[in-house]
Amino acid sequence: NAGVTQTPKFQVLKTGQSMTLQCAQDMNHEYMSWYRQDPGMGLRLIHYSVGAGITDQGEVPNGYNVSRSTTEDFPLRLLSAAPSQTSVYFCASSADRGNTGELFFGEGSRLTVL
């Protein structure tokens, strides 16, 4: 009963380093997305995907890349980390491709960029 699994849970990077946040879901959901959560800002959408091979930008996509080669996995890549990318990142998935469905969230990945 894994649901949405994110790794790593914690990561510290230096400015300019690259890394990938992993997200996997075992519910066969077509829709997946990445959000970042910052104090006093709520959650903001970074990128999303409505199926394998299809991705699109959200509200704050700059500095992040995504790909969706399988239904299960949706990794988020930081190519050159910046202190402004210090945040908690949440991956979410949904079985519903419309606007009425429930999003299932992972437990989050806390990233600090020095």
Partner 1 sequence: GDSVTQMEGPVTLSEEAFLTINCTYTATGYPSLFWYVQYPGEGLQLLLKATKADDKGSNKGFEATYRKETTSFHLEKGSVQVSDSAVYFCALSPRGSQGNLIFGKGTKLSVKP
Contacting partner 1 within 20-39 (CB under 8 A): 31, 33, 35
Contacting partner 1 within 40-59 (CB under 8 A): 40-45, 48, 50, 58
Contacting partner 1 within 78-97 (CB under 8 A): 90, 92, 94, 96-97
Q: Are 27 and 12 in contact (CB under 8 A)?
A: no
**Cβ proximity to partner 1, 62 vs 100, nearer residue:** 100
Using alpha carbons, select from 88, 84, 104 the residue that is nearest to residue 24. Answer: 104
* CB burial string 4-37: b at 16+ within 10 A, e below: bebeeeebebeeeeeeebebbbeeebbbbbbbbe
In three-state secondary structure terms, 100 is coil
**Cβ proximity to partner 1, 19 vs 104, nearer residue:** 104
**Cβ proximity to partner 1, 18 vs 102, nearer residue:** 102
In three-state secondary structure terms, 85 is helix
Which residues bind to partner 1, rule: CB under 8 A?
Answer: 4, 31, 33, 35, 40-45, 48, 50, 58, 90, 92, 94, 96-108
